Amino acid sequence: MTSIKDVARTVGVSTATVSRALRGLPRVSEETRLRVLQAAADLDYVASPSAAGLATGQTRAVGVVVPFVSRWFYGEVVQGADTPLRDAGYDLLLYNLGGDRQTRRRVFGTHLSSKRVDAVLVLSLTPTDEELAWLTKLDRPVAVVGASVPGWSSVRIDDEATACIAMKHLLALGHRDIGYIGGSLEDQLDFAAPFDRLLGYRRSMSHAGLSVLPQWEAVGNFTVRGGLAAMRLLLESEPRPTAVFAASDEMAIGAVHAVREAGLRVPQDLSVIGIDGHEMAEYFDLTTVAQPVHEQGRLAAQLLLDVLATDREHAKQPSAVTVPTRLVVRHTTGPPAS
């Protein structure tokens, strides 16, 4: 493994000079810099992140905490965050929680060490008090996508308002009996979105002077399969809703499937709307309220980089960015059968 000494020896300067030249620091003559650069390239020299990290306290890596890498939304956000981070010279350390609470505790408690990362990007989940304490103890910049935590930068949609957009569409079509498919109680603890979207549903109903029946609020776990199961229940409920608002496109896709499976037509017999703008939504002809997913990852990474580039003393207030969502009308929604 070639080290900085090899480069220094080759060029005939000290390691201090090599270090300065390679990192573009001032106080190196242009001629020396060129020779160092050349030698480093010839020798395939790359500074050891461990050694540099030990000397500076910086790791040039940011931790990205993801509930499930394999879900479209998170993959897309990571993809969005990747480019700016990579461009700024940071590596991404992926902390996949994989859904179960035990792994989640282990990841936050032991893997996610401040000695490993310069900053943390938390995707879509609301840290528990314990996790909040751990993250705070890290004493590193944190940015959150899809939730907001006081004191940290965040990028998210307005979940309640987004739910209202979906509901407004259904109400405008003339629906009065509207069901809801959302997360489980546990989802509501871990994630901010489920609760806010449920709130948007309830508020929209009551603003329209409609009452919500308990059997119209079904649990879909934010998966296709869950949405399918939830819709089966809703189809049995009395009275049966004429439209269903699912808090995610994946659940909406499952819901549409359940309706058709029951021999009913979408949207003639039952309308379905989702939230997300999932890449597959178009191919299911799904009406949805789309959010800019990739963009949220990009923005959050940018916020983190801004903080990282600023010295602590000049630190600005954390920014809380809300990105807009927009209704995309396709053909899973229509007026209720009269």
Q: For residues 92 and 86, give the distance between their C-alpha atoms in angstroms, rounded to a whole number.
A: 8
Single residue of 35, 71, 104, 140 touching a copy of itself by CB under 8 A = 71
Q: For residues 18 and 32, give the distance between their C-alpha atoms in angstroms, rounded to a whole number.
A: 9
Single residue of 10, 20, 205, 242 touching DNA by CB under 7 A = 20
* Contact status: 17 vs DNA (CB under 7 A): yes
Please calculate the CA angle 114-119-121 and round it to the nearest 5 degrees: 120
Sequence-distant (6+) residues with CB within 8 A of 192 are: 124, 125, 126, 146, 147, 148, 156, 159
Single residue of 26, 50, 185, 314 touching a copy of itself by CB under 8 A = 50
Single residue of 13, 125, 218, 251 touching DNA by CB under 7 A = 13
Binding segment (CB under 7 A) for DNA, from list 10-18, 94-102, 198-206, 297-305:
10-18
Single residue of 242, 284, 287, 301 touching a copy of itself by CB under 8 A = 284
* Contact status: 225 vs DNA (CB under 7 A): no
Sequence-distant (6+) residues with CB within 8 A of 268 are: 334, 337
CB 6 to a copy of itself: min, Å? 14
* Contact status: 53 vs a copy of itself (CB under 8 A): yes
Q: For residues 198 and 203, give the distance between their C-alpha atoms in angstroms, rounded to a whole number.
A: 9
Residues in region 30-89 near DNA by CB under 7 A? 31-32, 45, 47-48, 51-52, 54-56
Query: Can you list the alpha helix ranges (DSSP code H) found in the chain?
Result: 4-11, 15-22, 30-42, 49-56, 72-87, 101-106, 129-138, 159-172, 185-190, 192-207, 224-236, 249-261, 293-309
Residues in region 107-136 near a copy of itself by CB under 8 A? 107, 110-111, 113-116
Q: For residues 190 and 125, give the distance between their C-alpha atoms in angstroms, rounded to a whole number.
A: 6
CB 117 to DNA: min, Å? 15
Two structure tokens written together for 252: 């909406």
CB 172 to a copy of itself: min, Å? 28
Binding site for DNA (CB under 7 A): 1, 3-5, 12-17, 19-20, 22-23, 26-29, 31-32, 45, 47-48, 51-52, 54-56
